[in-house]
Amino acid sequence: MTRESANFEVEDALVRAGVPSRAVLVGDAYYSIPTHEWISGPFANWFGQALTALGIRYENERHDCEDFARLCAWAASHCHAKTPGASESGLAFGELWIASHAHAINFAVHQGRGDDTLEVVCYEPQLDARGFSCRLYPMTRADFQTVIHARI
């Protein structure tokens, strides 16, 4: 994790990206800001092993994108809480429902490159024959403007 940020800073990053403020739900006062390396490395490895152990797999309608996005967001928060030395704040990783894509994915608020600004990066949880991964999911400002639910 790179730092902690107040909830209004995390919400502001989402709104700057284009997410309508009415779609943003923040539940904690402070958030730990994860790195891409943590999400795609230790967290993805741990979550993949947990999914395999529990026998969870993708199923159309029954266990699809919004179910995986919700589960992935909870699992990231849980993994953060169990990480030795992690702060007691929430984790800036949540679920995002995009009307224009008819899709649900995850997002993280990361430290900006080279400065103190926060930026939103989207991830698509994937479970296939190679295992679990959190793949980067490209989003335009127009895509962010169609978000109907951003919960962190």
pTM more than 0.85: yes
Contacts of 52 (CB under 8 A, 6+ apart): 131, 132
pLDDT in tens, 4-17: 999 999 999 999 99
Q: How confident is the model at residue 110 (pLDDT cuts 50, 70, 90)?
A: very high
Q: Give the residue with greater pLDDT, 63 vs 84.
A: 84
**Strand pairing report for 30-33 and 90-91:** parallel
Going along the chain from its start, the domains and CATH numbers come out as: 3-151 (3.30.460.70)
The answer to whether residues 131 and 41 touch, using CB atoms and an 8 Å cutoff, is: no
Tokens 């989003």 correspond to what residue?
A: 139
CA distance 14 to 53: 34
Q: What are phi and psi of 35, to 5 degrees?
A: -95, 155
In Å, the largest CA–CA distance within the chain is: 42
Quick one: how far is CA 3 from the chain centroid?
16
Tokens 């994937």 correspond to what residue?
A: 126
- Answer whether residue 92 shows pLDDT above 70: yes
> How high is the pLDDT of residue 2?
62
Tokens 């335009």 correspond to what residue?
A: 140
The answer to whether residues 121 and 111 touch, using CB atoms and an 8 Å cutoff, is: no
Which whole number is the average pLDDT over 120-127? 88
- Answer whether residue 36 shows pLDDT above 80: yes
Q: What are phi and psi of 61, to 5 degrees?
A: 60, -45
